[in-house]
Amino acid sequence: MSDTVALRAAAAADAATIAATIAAAFMQYRGRLVPESSAFRETPEAIAAQLGAGSGAIVAERNGTMIGCVVTEVLEGDLYFGRLAILPEARGLGLAKQLMAAVEEEARRRGLPGVRLGVRIALADNQRLFQSLGYREISREAHPGFDHPTSINMRKAL
């Protein structure tokens, strides 16, 4: 059996596996982020509803097993991506970059002018990754109940 990674568009039937992949991938942030990531509240039902309402997702699979995913939606005329999730055992393979490239290709296919994302201020390594791929800060925002910014919004023009 090949160890080739394949990317594909998610289907509603993938919702439970996407939720589990997000939970496992985000576990490294448990206790590091204030407020805690809302990724821990993702449910298969909510993801299925998002997919049914027009949001999208791209999954990465190796030997038929999901090892990463990203969720997308149109936001302010751009394609927004969130919940970029790579299972711990699949890190270091360049999957984050592959998934982001797939998001950018989807935005181009749709004729959208850019791609957006949000990243926590506390996650400097993630910020550096996104900057290295051409994403630039466009604004900062505070989560509800905070009087200071907790998140950075970034955008890449295509």
Question: What range does the domain containing 73 cover?
Answer: 5-113
Q: According to the model, what pLDDT value does residue 31 have?
A: 87
In a domain, 139, yes or no: no
Q: According to the model, what pLDDT value does residue 3 have?
A: 75
Helix/strand/coil (H/E/C) assignment for every residue in 104-138: HHHHHHCCCCEEEEEEECCCHHHHHHHHHCCCEEE
Dihedral through CA 144, CA 68, CA 126, CA 89, nearest 10? Answer: 120
In a domain, 127, yes or no: no
Is 127 in contact with 152 (CB distance < 8 Å)? Answer: yes
In a domain, 150, yes or no: no
- The number of distinct structural domains making up the chain is 1
In a domain, 48, yes or no: yes
Structure token digits, residue 141: 């925002």
Q: According to the model, what pLDDT value does residue 35 have?
A: 92
The conformation of residue 37, written as its DSSP 8-state character, comes to P
Task: Please count the other Cβ atoms lying within 10 Å of the Cβ belonging to residue 124.
Answer: 10
In a domain, 121, yes or no: no
Q: According to the model, what pLDDT value does residue 32 have?
A: 87
In a domain, 131, yes or no: no
Q: Which residues of the chain have pLDDT under 70?
A: 1-2
In a domain, 108, yes or no: yes
The pTM assigned to this predicted structure is: 0.94
In a domain, 58, yes or no: yes
Q: According to the model, what pLDDT value does residue 1 have?
A: 43
Q: According to the model, what pLDDT value does residue 2 have?
A: 55
Q: Encode pLDDT of 78-116 as tens digits.
A: 999 999 999 999 999 999 999 999 999 999 999 999 999
**Which CATH number goes with the domain that contains 12?**
3.40.630.30
